[in-house]
Amino acid sequence: MPNDVASKPYVLGVDLGGTNVRAAVIDRVSEQIVARGENIPSRALDGVLATAGQIATAAKTALHQGNIDPERVVGCGIAVPGVIKGREGIVSYAPNFKDQWRGVQISAPVQESLGIPVHIGNDANLAAFGEFRFGSGRGVRDLVMLTLGTGVGGGIIIDGKLIEGATGGAGEIGHMIVNAGGRGGNSSFGSLEGECQRDAIIERAARKVQQGRKTVLAERTDYDRFALTPALIAQAASEGDAVAIEVFEETGYYLGIAVASLINILNPEMVVIGGGIAQAGELLLDSIRRTSNANALRALARTCQIVPAQLGDNAGIFGGAALALAEVVTEG
């Protein structure tokens, strides 16, 4: 690494959402967040320059909070919720923003404002890259991550590199078909997302309540399916509620089928399960592991750990930082 890079002890990570932007400065040695800029509105519908300005503000807020000179920051990586052509720094499609940001250059105006190199990547891909570099995947070369939430996202690291695909669309693991002809999400019928996204989990529980199964979920929601949440179901499961346990077992089955296929296709050392739904914890992980082990080639399953994510809400921020660091090493 050239001297001028070695003399820059910090890196910036930014998580751009449809509502807010969050930025953080990460110390390259301790690998900890040392300063934050949060609660900055994204101004998602006000156009690219407005949002770029908010990103820069979040970054500058973090620098100011940590009293850090931008000269000491090696670069900045931004996790964007959309399809990204990282090499060209272009957003191909980001549905939460004005006119879906089709073919938008977001890094250039941010770079101009901050005076440091700025790179962008897809948020789910960068969550995987963050776990790889700073979280559960430290020391691993080949990793797949699934992020479970409103949808199901993913990211793939092969031989230490984040896979982008031909047009920036790689890692759309939520759109794998795990149950051909099954439940549809925003994707095809029987996709992993269709079977395992937040709404699918709630629907699974709601049907069991409707069928008259004995469960604490019925009284706790007063038989109102709109009152059901994954957290409520996870809580009931942790108390031993058989119906709630079944919901996570069934969800874990489809996740395990996808994980088994991914292990057979990519032979990773590690599969990381993250996102809000993953907070159901060992119950869900056990079901995933059991199904995956039963369906993956034994030699490949044996050499692949299936583990929870470590970075929680900060995965995107750490992923942005990991991207910025990877670009420095490549350029230097």
Measure the CA dihedral 39/43/48/49, to 10°.
-80
Give the Cα separation of 107 and 120 in Å (integer): 7
Backbone angles phi, psi at 161, to 5 degrees: -115, 140
Question: Residue 38 is inside which H or E element, if any?
Answer: strand 33-41
- Least distance from its own copies to the Cβ atom of residue 309, Å: 19
Work out how close the CB of 18 gets to its own copies at its nearest, in angstroms, rounded to a whole number.
Answer: 20
Q: Min. distance of Cβ 267 from its own copies in angstroms?
A: 2
Residue 24 or 304: the one with the smaller Cβ distance to its own copies is: 304
> In this complex, which beta carbon is closest to its own copies, that of residue 28 or of residue 93?
93
Half-sphere exposure of 5 (CA within 13 A, CB side): 13
Alpha carbons 321 and 91: distance in angstroms, whole number: 18
- Closer to its own copies by Cβ: residue 39 or 303: 303
φ, ψ at 270 (rounded to 5°): -150, 140
Q: Which one, 179 or 229, has the nearer CB to its own copies? A: 179
- Provide, rounded to whole angstroms, the least separation between the CB of residue 1 and its own copies: 22
Q: Compute the least distance from the CB of residue 282 to its own copies, in Å.
A: 23
**Closer by beta carbon to its own copies, 269 or else 327:** 269
* Torsion region of 108: left, alpha or beta (phi above 0 gives left; psi -120 to 50 gives alpha): alpha
Among residues 13, 105, 110, the alpha carbon closest in space to that of 56 is found at 110
Q: At what angle do helices 123-134 and 315-331 cross, to 10 degrees?
A: 80
Q: Which is nearer to its own copies, 131 or 142 (CB)?
A: 142
Taking the complex as a whole, the smallest distance from the CB of residue 13 to its own copies amounts, in Å, to: 24
Note whether 24 and 78 are within 8 A (CB).
Answer: no
Name the residues that contact its own copies, by CB under 8 A: 83, 92-93, 141-142, 154, 156, 158-159, 161, 163-173, 175-180, 187-188, 254, 257, 260-262, 264-269, 294-297, 299-300, 303-304
User: Could you tell me the smallest distance in angstroms from the CB atom of residue 164 to its own copies?
Assistant: 8
Neighbours of 53 (CB within 10 A): 17
Judged by beta carbon, residue 37 or residue 82, the one nearer its own copies is 82
